Amino acid sequence: MHFKSSKQLFQDAQKFIPGGVNSPVRAFKAVGGDPIFIKSAKGAYVYDEDGNKYIELINSWGPMILGHAHELIEKAVCDAIQNSLSFGAPTRREVEMAELITQMVPSIDKVRMVNSGTEATMSAVRLARGFTGRTKIIKFEGCYHGHGDSFLIAAGSGAVTMGVPDSPGVTAGTANDTLTAPYNDLESVKALLEANTGQVAALIIEPVAGNMGCVLPKAGFLEGLRALCDEHGVVLIFDEVMTGFRLSPAGAQQVYNVKPDLTTLGKIIGGGMPVGAYGGKKEIMDCISPVGPIYQAGTLSGNPVAMAAGITMLQYLHDHPEVYTQLEAITSRMVNGVKANLNKLGLSFTINHIGSMWSLFFNNGPVFDFESAKKCNTALFGHYFKEMLNQGIYLAPSQFEALFVSTAISDQDIERITSANYRVLESLKINDI
């Protein structure tokens, strides 16, 4: 086959695909330059079409908890494809998957499989609306819940880096039904609920935000939301597409000990295959068709190959809880190395870290919401990103994305990451941010 470099591929891609990519963040617009095209990956490393090898901290935006191309998951997929790729009919593995999820996440009594996190959040909101008979929802500025119309209001991730947190194409009616509050600001949620009494169906939140960089909930914030939702009869939805099974076997809700009514899950539960799910309290979930009247469906939902990959990874996490200690240790070593670099260089950039998620913000103040995240020097981040890439470290190509760590990262990899970080920060000539 004719060899094409990343540069040539990107040129060709732009002729046939809008912007040359199938998801905006990949276009490197937030950091400048052209994207690299990935050929393969194994463990902690990705290899591009140009023959370069990188240590990577994206991990498919979360799911590669055990690193790329893990033997057990590969085998499960290879075994599953022998029996055809899709049936659009019930299969044994869907039951196994649902049982495993409900076993690992105590707040989930019943779960419905879909094909992506976006589908999961859209479906969960429809369910909450049907269940409560109300129309409005509350979301937080800078949180990203996929590209459903209701969520493209003050949205994070690619929506903010492309400068369209409020996307054209979303009708005024839909936008009016989405109320927004600053992350970590309980008082503003209280005010919204009081001003819209009896109208709010759901409050949806990333319990640890990963789409404005990694932003942690302040002490008492999630508990406060739980209490407010109870008081106002609002369905509390935790979007754990990035945090579910990553921060603990039961995600952020276990770490913070707060039970949502519904949870949305995504890519992680497919071990890298395209999957999503939403689940929660039995009385709410039983409102979905064919038990109840709220409709939601999909030919590829519960796809057998995706189920095989996901079950294998979740079962592994279930059987090996030490994975979480390992992830925390690897990430802490990395983060502490970067902190030491900042100290040596007299820099006071902010680092947010929890478990195997973290962000280095090019910002001297604390980052606890969208406004503080937006104070970052994104131009400087762009230089940093490109120089790190030149050093063989592939970071998320935006200041407003979290980094995800896998168990495949070795001590030598950490040393390479932290020493590259030192060299790059030193070379950036940071005067004033």
Tell me how many degrees the CA angle 230-200-115 measures, rounded to the nearest 5. Answer: 95
Query: In the complex, which residues of this chain contact ligand HOZ (CB under 6 A)?
Result: 23, 25-26, 61, 144, 157-158, 211, 401
SS3 360: strand
- Is 144 a known active-site residue? yes
- Is 239 a known active-site residue? yes
Which residue among 267, 278, 369, 413 is the active-site one?
Answer: 267
Nearest approach in angstroms of CB 126 to ligand HOZ is 21
| Strand duo 53-56 + 45-48: pairing | antiparallel
Nearer to ligand HOZ among residue 239 and residue 413 (C-beta): 239
Nearest approach in angstroms of CB 35 to ligand HOZ is 10
SS3 242: coil
d(CA 408, CA 390): 21
Nearer to ligand HOZ among residue 69 and residue 342 (C-beta): 69
Give the C-alpha distances (Å, rounded to integers) separating 114 from 203, 255, 284, 291, 302: 21, 25, 17, 17, 7
How many other β-carbons are positioned within 10 Å of the β-carbon of residue 47?
15
**φ, ψ at 97 (rounded to 5°):** -65, -45
Nearest approach in angstroms of CB 59 to ligand HOZ is 11
Nearer to ligand HOZ among residue 263 and residue 398 (C-beta): 398
Nearer to ligand HOZ among residue 25 and residue 138 (C-beta): 25
d(CA 119, CA 115): 7
Nearer to ligand HOZ among residue 62 and residue 304 (C-beta): 62
Q: Which residue is nearest to ligand HOZ (CB)?
A: 23
Which residue among 48, 177, 239, 369 is the active-site one?
Answer: 239
d(CA 318, CA 245): 9
The alpha helices in 137-271, defined as continuous H runs, are 158-161, 172-176, 186-195, 221-232, 252-255
Q: For residue 309, how far is the Cα from the chain centroid?
A: 19
Which residue among 48, 54, 139, 144 is the active-site one?
Answer: 144
Nearest approach in angstroms of CB 144 to ligand HOZ is 6
Nearer to ligand HOZ among residue 157 and residue 399 (C-beta): 157
**φ, ψ at 30 (rounded to 5°):** -75, -15
Give the C-alpha distances (Å, rounded to integers) separating 1 from 4, 12, 17: 9, 16, 22
CB 267 within 8 A of CB 103: no
53-56 sheet: strands from edge to edge: 38-42, 45-48, 53-56, 393-394
Nearest approach in angstroms of CB 314 to ligand HOZ is 21
Nearest approach in angstroms of CB 93 to ligand HOZ is 25
**Which residues are the active-site residues?**
144, 239, 267
